[in-house]
Amino acid sequence: MKVRCPHCGAEFEAKEEGIVVCPYCGFQIKLGESRTFTYPLRVENPWNVLASFIRLQRLSPTDVEWKARIIERELLYVPFYVFFVKAKGVARRGIISKEGAGYVEFFNYATVPAVEGFDELVNYPLPVRGRRYFDGHVNGRLLEKTIEASEAVKRLRDELRNILKNEARRYFHWSNVEVGMPTFDVHLDGLVYYPIWRIRYKYGFFTYLAYIDGADGRVPYAEFPVSPVKRMTNLSLGFLLLASGFLIGKFLYSYGVTAPIGSVATAIWASYPSLKRAFMVKGRASEHRLLSEVAGDYIPEDEVFKTIRRFLK
């Protein structure tokens, strides 16, 4: 019997039905039966993984590991729909007047949690190796499906639009992108009960949520406290940039009204990332996607000063 691997697309011969392993990528395939899978639990101490991840965040305090108090630590087997997706779209740049055009495509597997309350895990990439067929035995709490596959496809479409936009930004180097009338070809590949640790911990006056991958130790989503010292540093930097813009504008006032207006506008734009971080008490981070506030956090301050220097020239 000739079998095509649904993961890598390779074809190979299988002598009989049952569980076969792709000799090229190690993907398990069960012939002639339903496709419900799980992964073995390999992470026994999720707090150590989470604490190490939080230490890597540039805005987090250094004492979370020993000052935080864990109020919930539970192993969940979260059901995921696994889809094979082919998505295409035409991307254009601009906000008011659209110009330029480029074709963007996405061909890959995508996942959607089959239960409510796990929106942070939409399109979480599951490992290639280690998957096995589900026999109903788990080490934690098994969550039952509450979302039908058709509803999961609707939720996936919004995520795919964002993926196509990001692809256009990446390859065409466009800042403002719109993808009009994308086409989607979505096929259900199976259902996976995936081990996810859910941790809630308290630090100071606030409670924070995090998910830790129980199969390989990744952190798909984590909330963390923002250090007061770093908030004050960003506040000082933000006000310094604002003050410099107003002072430069006052100095340039004799050359006309346009120059000080441009100086103040540039200062406001330049100080916004720092002021935003200064008033943020709870940060978010993920190992598999760049969240919006984290993306802003990676804007280095020297880019701000470069913008000011270009304006003055």
Q: Identify the three-state secondary structure at position 47.
A: helix
Q: Positive or negative CA dihedral for 37, 287, 144, 159?
A: negative
Note down pLDDT in tens along the chain; length 313 residues: 677 776 677 888 876 656 677 888 877 666 654 578 899 999 999 999 999 999 988 888 889 988 999 999 999 999 999 999 888 877 776 554 455 667 778 888 899 999 999 988 998 999 878 888 887 788 899 998 999 988 998 888 888 888 887 777 777 766 666 666 678 888 888 899 999 999 999 998 999 999 999 999 999 999 999 888 888 888 888 888 888 878 887 777 777 777 778 777 888 888 888 888 788 888 899 988 755 444 444 444 444 445 545 555 5
Give the DSSP letter of residue 258.
H
Burial label, 263 (beta-carbon count in 10 A; 0-12, 13-18, 19+): buried
The predicted-structure confidence for 96-129, as pLDDT tens digits, reads as follows: 445 566 777 888 889 999 999 998 899 899 987 8
The owner of tokens 């798909």 is: 220
- Give the tokens for residue 131: 């998957």
How far is 196 from 130, CA to CA, in rounded Å?
15
Please count the CA atoms within 13 angstroms of the CA of 67 that sit on its side-chain side.
Answer: 14
Residue/partner pairs of 300-307 with CB below 8 Å, 24 or more apart: 301/237, 301/274, 304/241, 304/270, 304/271, 304/273, 305/270, 307/266, 307/269, 307/270
Residues contacting residue 206 through CB under 8 Å, at least 6 positions apart:
225, 281, 282
